[in-house]
Structure 1
C-alpha cells in the first residue's frame, strides 16, 4: 500500500495546480518524517547517499540526493557511450529511415521529440536508448560523452505518466510531455539528451551552465521520477546492455561507430 501511494505521488499525471501542491508538500520540513519509510519501501541504497537519512531536511532533498564520491565509476574510453543515469534500460535500437522508433506500441518521431523539422538530417543513421528512473533511483543526470552544447530548449506544459503503463496508454508521452532537449556535438557525431517530465511540470533542473560537457559531469536532475532518452547521430557497433537491465550512471551501454 505504501509503495502504491508513494509511486502515485511521483508518477501520476497531474495538472499544473496539482503539481504545485505536491511539489510544495515534498519540500516542507515536515515531509522529512517520510524519508525513512520511503527509503525502506523502495529499498534505496542508503550507504550511497551523500548524507545520512536524518540529515535531509525534506523528502524532496532526499529524492534529489547526491551520492558519496566514488560511488560510480566513469568509463572514459572514447569508443564507449556511457549511461547518463541510474535506471532500467527500457528500450534501445537503431533508428529507421524516418528517424523513428517503436516503444510500447507507439511510434516516436524525432521531429516531434526534438521540436524541429530537420532532425532527420542529423540522426538518420543513429541509435536510441530509453532509460526509466524508478522512485528508488539516483535522480541526477550526467553527460554521456564529451561534447559542445549547440541547443537546449524546453517543450510541452503537461505531463502524462512515463511508467510502463503510461508509455503504453498515454498519447506519445515522450514527445508530448514537458521536456528539456539538449543537443550537443561530439567527436562521434551529434547527440541529444531528452529529459522527460513525469508529474511536476517544473521538475527538470539544469546544473551545468557551461556549454562544454565532459562525460560523467552532472548536467541536471529530476525533482520527481521520470525518463531520459539518449539519441546518437551514428549507429552503434554493439549494444552492451539488455532491455530491462538495471544499469548505473557511468557504465558503458554501447560501443560507438567512430
Structure 2
C-alpha cells in the first residue's frame, strides 16, 4: 500500500472536502482560472467537446467541472435492447453479483469485495440483485461529470448513506477493503420495464457534492445516519440516456441489475475506457 493511500485513513475527509467545495464554488476570477487551468493541463481535459469551450467562460471551478457537453458529443447506442453506459470514465470492475454461497458479493479488486447489502444499506432489498450484474465506472478529473440513465426508469426511493470519503482511484480501490461500501453515497432505486435497477453515486476525497436532477444538492450535507426519501407516486420518470445526476469532482457510479434480464457487453474489463451512451449490457429475449 502506498504512503498516499495509507494517509487517507487518517486525513479529515469531510473537512478537506468542505474546503475543496469552498474553492470549487468561489467566483473569484483568479481562483477559478487557476483551478481550471491546472486541472485542464494536468489531466488533459478536452474542452472541444464542451458546450462552453472557452475556459474563461465559467463562473467557477464547479461550473467548469459539471460542464455540459455540446449537442451530439455523445450519442446513445442505437440498438433498442442496449442498456447504456451511464458515464464517461473507466471500468473499475464489471461482472456477476454473487449467488449461492457468495450471495450478493460484488468484486472490488484483487482480494477485495463487498456485498450488495453493505452497498445499498438494505439487506432485504439487496436480495433482488443476487445473481444479477454490476458495473462500476470510475470518473477521473478529466471526464464529463454528469451521470445518465442506462434505461428508462421511474424513481422509487433514494437512500443517503453516511460514510468516509476515501479516494476512489485505482490504488485506493486495490488496497482499501470494502471501499465503495464505506464511502458516503447516494443510492437511487428505479423501477424499469425489466424490474429493479439501482444507481449508486459514490462520494470520494475532495468530492464537493452529489446533485440529482429531481432534487438538486444531495451531498453535502454529509450524513450521520441513513436517510431515505420516498418518491413513489410522484411520477419522476427519466428516459434512457437522460441526465440523472452529477458529481463535483472525480468519483464512481455503480449500476446494479437483477438476475436473468441482461448480459454485459463484451470487453468491459478493468481499466478499459468507456464513454457515455455506449453499450453497457443487452437485454435478453
- The alignment's TM-score, normalised by the length of structure 1, stands at 0.89
**1:121 matched to 2:145:** no
Give the aligned partner of residue 93 of structure 1: 95
What secondary structure is seen at the aligned counterpart in 2 of 1:175?
A: helix
What's the secondary structure of 1:237's corresponding residue? strand
Tell me the CA shift for residue 218 of structure 1. 0.8
State the distance in 2 between where 1:203 and 1:107 align. Answer: 25
Q: Which residue of structure 1 aligns with residue 277 of structure 2?
A: 250
Report the CA distance between 1:13 and its aligned residue.
Answer: 6.3
- Matched residues in 1 for 2:284 and 2:126: separation? 18
Question: Conserved in 1, the CA contact under 8 Å of 2:33 and 2:55?
Answer: no
Shift of 1:19: 1.5
Please say if residues 128 and 229 of structure 1, whose CA atoms lie closer than 8 Å, have aligned partners that are also in contact.
Answer: yes
Shift of residue 33, structure 1, vs aligned partner: 2.1
- Partner of residue 67 from structure 1, selected from 59, 66, 69: 69
The 1:15–1:167 alpha-carbon spacing in structure 2 relative to 1, beyond 3 Å, is same
Instruction: Report the Cα distance in structure 1 between the residues aligned to 2:164 and 2:194, rounded to whole angstroms.
Output: 34
Q: Within the alignment, does 1:211 sit opposite 2:212 as a pair? A: no
- Residue 173 (structure 1) aligned with residue 199 (structure 2): no
Give 2:19's aligned residue.
21
CA drift at 1:238: 4.4
TM-aligned CA distance change 1:230 to 1:15, over 3 Å: same
1:241 aligns with 2:246: no
1:213-242 Cα deviation digits (max 9, x unpaired): 111111110011101110101343342333
**CA displacement at 1:173 relative to structure 2:** 1.7
Whole-Å separation in 1 of the counterparts to 2:14 and 2:32:
24
Q: More displaced, 13-22 or 111-120?
A: 13-22
User: TM-score scaled by structure 2?
Assistant: 0.81
> How well do the aligned residues superpose, as a CA RMSD in angstroms?
1.9
Alpha carbons of structure 1 residues 170 and 13: separation in structure 2 relative to 1, 3 Å = farther
- Over 6 Å off, 4+ runs: none
- In structure 2, do the counterparts of structure 1 residues 70 and 40 end up closer, same or farther at CA, with 3 Å as the change threshold? same
Superposed CA offset, 1:86-120 (max 9, x none): 01011111111101122222121011101111134
5+ long unaligned stretches in structure 2: 1-9, 216-234
Question: What is the deviation of 1:124?
Answer: 1.9
Stretch of structure 1 that moved more, 198-207 or 87-96: 198-207
Q: Name the residue aligned to 1:222.
A: 247
The number of equivalent residue pairs is: 247
Which residue in 2 is equivalent to 1:151?
157
30-39 or 17-26: bigger deviation: 30-39
1:110 and 2:108 aligned = no
